[in-house]
């Protein structure tokens, strides 16, 4: 049975200048046709076919065949693809943000793919969705603002790969192998690890298996990471830099891009954190990881205020700064 990875659907955006990867599961001979080129392989379960990098353009069509089965993907664009990952501040929806209502647009050049969340409250159908006035309110505010700014700046289609989960700890995004150096006793960890609901997705490597792997090895233009609030115990804060650097290394390998540009949004100051010491340690770890890791940049947001909110409602200004940071990393 021929089955493409969920991220390969009609309306998808592929990253310009990057290898185009077609992957999924099948048995027997698999044949893909795209822009007049054909790629074939013999599949025994998982398969991967690659097409050479292309400049921005579209819409295009792709066909994938195995035996008598045929899948046709339509309205495919080549432009930029950004990974938006992290926890609730990255998940924070446009309808919750200041400036949100004034930014409702129909823009078929902007598309989002939301990796299915374990909490079961997805607003999208697990395929690539062009932005409409109706669905844009449910986009991540950061993903919406950044995508629109990059489209205006570069004049190409922009795809937002949304991979986030509210109250998620960084350990859940890492593989078992990457987690081996990071062992904490239960009393050393933030309560979100063992929370009655949050523990559903905060088990070791849970989101790595359920959300990260299904999206790889889709080619990306860059990644934006906005997480840390759920790792603000002192013990975790002291190791946050090392865990974040491990995540960057692992994700660059998984997405087959050793130089993948990575923007880190530093968590905002917060007046009543679980641990003031741990909060500061996470902030310091984020800054150190950005400064010491090639191809990374830091976005500072503490000067923007709203320190009484764990979810600041101003997501436009952080997004402006993220776009500015991307300019130094992405041509």
pLDDT digits (tens, 9 = 90+) for 9-38: 999 999 999 999 999 999 999 999 999 999
| Percent of the chain predicted with pLDDT > 90 | 91
Inform me whether the pLDDT recorded for 309 exceeds 80. Answer: yes
The domain over range 3-77 is classified in CATH as 2.60.40 = yes
120 pLDDT exceeds 90?
no
pLDDT-wise least confident of 3-7, 125-129, 148-152, 245-249: 125-129
Place of tokens 């044949």: 31
The correct answer on CATH 3.40.50.2300 for the domain covering 78-327 is no
Residues of each domain in the chain carrying CATH 2.60.40: 3-77
In sequence order, the 6+-apart residues with CB closer than 8 A to the CB of 172 are: 165, 201, 202, 203, 204, 205, 206, 207, 208
Q: pTM score, two decimals?
A: 0.97
How many CB atoms neighbour CB 159 within 10 A?
Answer: 29
- Listed in order, the ranges of the chain carrying CATH 3.40.50.1110 are 78-327
**Is pLDDT of 331 > 80?**
no
Sequence-distant (6+) residues with CB within 8 A of 147 are: 82, 110, 112, 131, 158, 159, 160
Cis peptide before 217 (omega within 30 of 0): yes
The answer, yes or no, to whether residue 102 has pLDDT greater than 70, is no
Q: For 140-167, what is the mean pLDDT?
A: 97
- Residue 304, pLDDT above cutoff 80: yes
Q: What is the pLDDT of residues 51-73, one digit of tens each?
A: 999 999 999 999 999 999 999 99
Q: What's the pLDDT band for 101 if we cut at 50, 70, 90?
A: low
């Amino acid at each position: 049975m021929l089955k493409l990875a969920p991220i390969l659907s009609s309306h998808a955006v592929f990253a310009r200048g990057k290898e185009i990867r077609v992957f999924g599961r099948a048995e027997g001979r698999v044949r893909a046709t795209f822009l007049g080129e054909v790629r074939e392989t013999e599949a025994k379960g998982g398969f991967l076919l690659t097409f050479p990098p292309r400049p921005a353009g579209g819409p295009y069509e792709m066909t994938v065949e195995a035996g008598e089965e045929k899948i046709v993907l339509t309205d495919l664009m080549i432009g930029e693809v950004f990974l938006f990952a992290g926890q609730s501040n990255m998940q924070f929806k446009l309808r919750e943000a200041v400036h949100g209502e004034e930014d409702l647009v129909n823009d078929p050049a902007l598309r989002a793919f939301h990796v299915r969340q374990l909490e079961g409250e997805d607003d999208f159908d697990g395929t690539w969705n062009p932005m409409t006035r109706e669905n844009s309110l449910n986009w991540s505010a950061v993903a919406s603002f950044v995508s629109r700014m990059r489209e205006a700046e570069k004049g190409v289609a922009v795809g937002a790969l949304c991979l986030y989960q509210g109250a998620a700890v960084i350990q859940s995004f890492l593989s078992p192998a990457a987690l081996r150096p990071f062992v904490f006793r239960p009393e050393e960890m933030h309560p979100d690890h063992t929370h009655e609901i949050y523990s559903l997705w905060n088990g070791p490597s849970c989101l790595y298996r359920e959300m990260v792997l299904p999206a790889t090895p889709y080619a990306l233009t860059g990644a934006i990471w906005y997480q840390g609030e759920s790792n603000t115990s002192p013990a975790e804060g002291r190791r946050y830099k090392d865990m974040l650097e491990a995540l960057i290394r692992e994700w660059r390998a998984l997405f087959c891009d050793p130089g993948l540009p990575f923007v880190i949004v530093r968590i905002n100051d917060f007046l009543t954190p679980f641990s003031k010491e741990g909060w500061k340690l996470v902030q310091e770890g984020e800054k150190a990881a950005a400064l010491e890791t090639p191809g990374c940049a830091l976005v500072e947001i503490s000067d923007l205020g709203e320190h009484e909110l764990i979810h600041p409602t101003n997501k436009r200004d952080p997004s402006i700064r993220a776009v500015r940071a991307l300019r130094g990393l992405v041509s």
